[in-house]
Structure 1
């Protein structure tokens, strides 16, 4: 399987949003035929070697983060009630049913709040 078969493509690599508003971060992802998607999520952590945490599971995001995508190709999210603390790089991560079938989309999306 070549790495050309794998990828995450973000509509914008930089997003600026007003405090207290909502932001949509759009993206699409690709993976080889024959692989099945088991888990999809966004994270602020692109550390190699360990499984990065799922943002939607964290207390500060669970009520505000909506995954608008699917388990095929769309990985768009909406973040509501944005605050200064949300200024970060965000990355999309997906995991398939094969041992070698994990991918994180780096570089991610840089969010700025004004």
Structure 2
């Protein structure tokens, strides 16, 4: 049985504390993204706060963060998609994190070359604080996926006054999506993944399609929406009756005034002639 001296025991405890206290966590280790879309890789990290040198606690500070592609350790000299110490970064890769706990990376306008495993690395002002989670997040790029339209209603034929939401979706899971919506082949102003139509009118009837804004090859199959006249509700009927009655009253009063005016003018002429 090995005999541990005091210094060896402290060293073992330090290693265990470092292994527990220093972490990088990816909520998911794989995802899928359509070419041209935006994908976000959530990430949180816990840096080592300090380490011991001859029983003296030495504080650590994170001075550099990196994201690399297809490298197991993401060392300093490894080509990185993001490096906090470099100004020469591809603008498609946006670091949404900080130097404390958040290490989230966002990839915009996903390309086929992003079909890879991405790993995060933190570096402190001493090598004892350097750490890489070798698990990483694997991104699978779907190059030929078509979008599809999902309706909040099971019926393609709806009544006037109802509400429906159309969702532009894909077989892939991604976090942010800018799409172009079309109605009867004419582009609409909406760019979000959902199109909310309320209250429905006859003008909403038509053929709807959607596609990723950055990749029009992903245009969906058409979705046909028909809006019928439907039954008038009680309030609408009351309003129509009141409007008709009001209009009839105005016409009647106007007719009486015109008739009396004509009679007075006729009497005036007769009196003048006699």
Pick the TM interval, shorter chain. 0.7 to 0.9
- 1:32-43 equivalence runs, <5 A: 32-33=48-49, 34-43=59-68
Shift in alpha-carbon separation, 1:50–1:98, aligned structure 2, 3 A: closer
Which of residues 101, 105, 123 in structure 2 aligns to 1:77?
Answer: 105
RMSD over aligned Cα, in angstroms? 2.0
* Structure 1: gaps of 5 or more residues: none
In terms of fraction of residues, the more strand-rich structure is: 1
Shift in alpha-carbon separation, 1:100–1:90, aligned structure 2, 3 A: same
In terms of fraction of residues, the more helix-rich structure is: 2
Partner of 2:31: 15
Partner of 1:107: 135
- 1:23-62 equivalence runs, <5 A: 23-33=39-49, 34-44=59-69, 45-47=71-73, 51-56=77-82, 62=90
- Relative to structure 2, which stretch is displaced further, 89-98 or 27-36? 27-36
1:51 shift after superposition: 3.7
* Structure 2: gaps of 5 or more residues: 1-13, 50-58, 143-274
Normalised by the length of structure 1, the TM-score is 0.88
2:131 partner SS: strand
Name the structure, 1 or 2, with higher relative contact order (CA <8 Å, separation 6+).
1
1:48 shift after superposition: 7.6
What is the aligned length?
112
Partner of 1:4: 20
